[in-house]
Structure 1
Amino acid sequence: MGYPVIFVFESIYYPILAAVGITVNLVAIVILCRGNCGLSKYITRYLVAMATADLRVVIVEVILKRINNIYLPISVLFITPVCAMILVIKIAALDCSVWFTVAFTFDRFVAISCQKLKPRYCTEKTASVIIATVCTLACLRSIPLYFMYEPGFLINNIPYLCVETAVYYISPLWAAYKVFDTVVTPLLPIFLILSFNALTVKHILKSNKIRRTLVSNSDNHNDPESENRKKSMVLLFTLSANFILLWTPYFVHSLKWRMRNYNYRDKYYSSPIYINQQTGFMLQLLSSCTNTCIYGLTQRKFRQELKNGVKYLVTLNGKLCQ
């Protein structure tokens, strides 16, 4: 009997995702750190933090877990303490990636809609504090997950695999933690991103209406400010749609089904519930490649830096162009 279709698809999908994710995020980090994109330092800090968190997700979840499970069935990574630590780091990295997106969305809301708060909030120091706070809270939030797992079996007294303990399914504390986990990521982030974007768009539309009235009463009908605001709206809608579309399948599945991944029956792997679960994971991890692309590639100077970098590499450090 051949492998289930979902297994075959994952064996192709995850290596491609790893290659693209590492490349995209590393390139973004290098370009942003050079500081030639015309972005302020505090915005650059947010974007670098997002790219770094996404890169960590790709390395820990996609390479060390998904690809390892598919292509390296015997590995030190399957030892229970190592396996549990990888899962903890993955959750912390996912939380950082998601909440950095929320923090940056709020920052853009303040910059556009709250002119009095902007000078105090939109600073490099504030960005650093928020990034450090998010990282700390994400790590603290993920620590209890280390104690959620027990070995699947022992080989020469060495524990292997990470299986949820029986207490995880019956304990009121773990039940409360699961609800908290669902709220923290991604229910609350989705709500906050939609709310901040809605308020930002409302402010932009109101400002544009006033500016159109002023411009129509003047001889100069060119309004660069309105064009910039339109670009901001497009960016905000793109970010919201990307995050919500890629996280919704995972979110819906986590609310409706709780499945045990150590049930190895063939029917289980071919069931629509399992396929939906794995599809949700794949789309969720895809967001680790798209966030930075959306933020960065919408910036003209970022694209120019990328072109310069490609040209520099292709022409052997520029020597062929001389």
Structure 2
Amino acid sequence: MHAILTGPVFNVYYPVLAAIGVPANLVVIVILSKRRCGLSRCINCYLVSIAVADLLVVVTVVILNRTAGIYFPFSFLSITPMCSLRSALNYAALDATAWLTVAFTFDRFVAISCHKLKITYCTEKMAAWIIAIISAVACVKNAFLYFQYEPMYMINNTPWFCSIKIIVYTSPAWAANDWIAFILTPLLPFILIILLNALTVSHILAANRSRKRIRFRSNAESQSDREMVKRRKSIVLLFTISGSFVLLYLLCFIWIPYVRFANVIYTSVSNFSNSTFIIQETGFMLQLLSSCINPFIYAGTQSKFRTELQNGLKYPMNLFIKVFKI
């Protein structure tokens, strides 16, 4: 993610993404932390952690990496040691976001499909442990990325920018490491989210058929309907979050193995006539867009979240009116 980007598309896209992503994720963290949205403590814990990880992605990747690289290309952030450190932080934040999404998807699968395991697994304490483990592993896994870069330029004995070392493309050890990294993120999260959602859908369809038979025999329409409405809201939230992740990561999912199989070198300079550069950067742009999508998903699917958001927006206006009247 260390391309030297120029052009109106990048100049506008990344600042706008940062301007939307930072306040949107902060709002999500504040609202969900109040626990007034009718979500279980377990779900709330996962959604807050995903929002924090998304915020870190926006800050480290979108602002400190992409936007700073476009508008302040020769700041201290572009010195090779800082550039290498930013790379490790970038991928750690992206890994954490991906695996927290997997953890949330698995938690909902257990809650819907495994009623016995649900009692011990779907708890706030268990969610906190899983979030802590995912965060620690993401940091450790990506720490070594610091050493895969070399200076792109030497100016007055100062190393500037980051270029991936040629040995990364030729060494069997680095190739194995690259494949392991790809398998861990995004391959496994991609497959696990699709698989867990498929199993969840299968269980829901079977449960709905059974429920309809019970309702038909007992005529307990209202009670069954309330249960199905509650379940439907949970499913909509799950599928929109995991579905958006799959769609926005799809191009990167295809692109990364293609680099290895076709021996393509990552393009480091903007070149809109190069199809490789266009595909590469489009994949990155969509991947980073995923860090701003969830707040809009919550607003679109959760009525209590919308109410809290509206109350938050009204508060400054009401305060201003009170001060003005005084």
Decide which moves more: 211-220 or 119-128.
Answer: 211-220
Q: CA deviation at 1:297?
A: 4.1
SS of 2:215's partner is helix
1:244 Cα deviation from its structure 2 partner: 1.4
Query: What's the C-alpha RMSD, in Å, of the aligned pairs?
Result: 2.0
Residue equivalent to 1:188: 188
Tell me the SS of whatever aligns to 2:67: helix
- Going from structure 1 to structure 2, the CA distance change for 1:84 and 1:226 (only over 3 Å counts) comes to same
Per-residue deviation, 1:13: 0.8
- Give the aligned partner of residue 239 of structure 2: 237
Q: Answer yes or no: is the 8 Å Cα contact 2:267–2:277 preserved in 1.
A: no
The 2-side partners of 1:184 and 1:67 are apart by 28
CA 1:253–1:70 in structure 2 vs 1: closer, same or farther (change >3 Å)? same
**What is the CA-CA distance between 1:138 and the residue it aligns to?**
0.3
Deviation at 1:196, TM superposition (A): 1.1
CA deviation map 1:118-167 (0-9, x unaligned): 11111111111101100111011101110000111222222111111121
Please list, as runs of the form range in 1=range in 2, the aligned pairs for 1:257-296 lying within 5 A after superposition: 257=259, 258-262=264-268, 264=269, 268-295=271-298
Q: What corresponds to 2:85 in structure 1?
A: 85
Matched residue, 1:55: 55
- What is the identity, as a one-letter code, of the residue corresponding to 1:229? R
Name structure 1 gaps, 5 residues minimum: none
Give the percent of matched residue pairs that are identical in Structure 1 and Structure 2. Answer: 49
SS at match of 1:151: strand
Aligned pair 1:251/2:253, yes or no? yes
Structure-1-length-normalised TM-score: 0.92
CA distance 1:93–1:259, shift in 2 (3 Å):
same
Aligned residue for 1:11?
11
Distance 2:129 2:66 in 1: 33
Q: Is 168-177 or 31-40 further displaced after alignment?
A: 31-40
The AA in structure 2 aligned to 1:241 is: G
Q: Name stretches of at least 5 consecutive residues in structure 2 with no aligned partner.
A: none
Change (3 A) 1:290 1:307: same
Q: Would you say the 8 A contact 1:243–1:287 is kept in 2?
A: yes
* 1:37 aligns to 2:43 (yes or no): no
Query: Helix, strand or coil for the counterpart of 1:260?
Result: coil
TM-score by length of 2: 0.91
Question: 2: CA distance between counterparts of 1:141 and 1:200?
Answer: 30
Residues 129 and 282 of structure 1: is their aligned pair in 2 closer, same or farther, counting only changes over 3 Å? same
Residue 224 (structure 1) aligns with: 226
Contact 1:28-1:296 within 8 A present in 2 as well: no
Aligned residues: 315
Structure 2: how far apart are the matches of 1:131 and 1:292? 19
SS in 2 for 1:278: helix
Per the alignment, in what secondary structure is the counterpart of residue 154 of structure 1?
Answer: strand
Q: Which residue of 1 aligns with 2:306?
A: 303
Is the contact between residue 110 and residue 122 of structure 1 (CA under 8 Å) also seen in structure 2? yes
Letter in 2 for 1:259: I
Mapped to 2, the partners of 1:136 and 1:54 lie a distance apart of 16
Tell me the SS of whatever aligns to 2:39. Answer: coil
Q: Which moved more, 1:189-198 or 1:223-232?
A: 223-232
Contact 1:47-1:292 at 8 Å conserved across structures? no
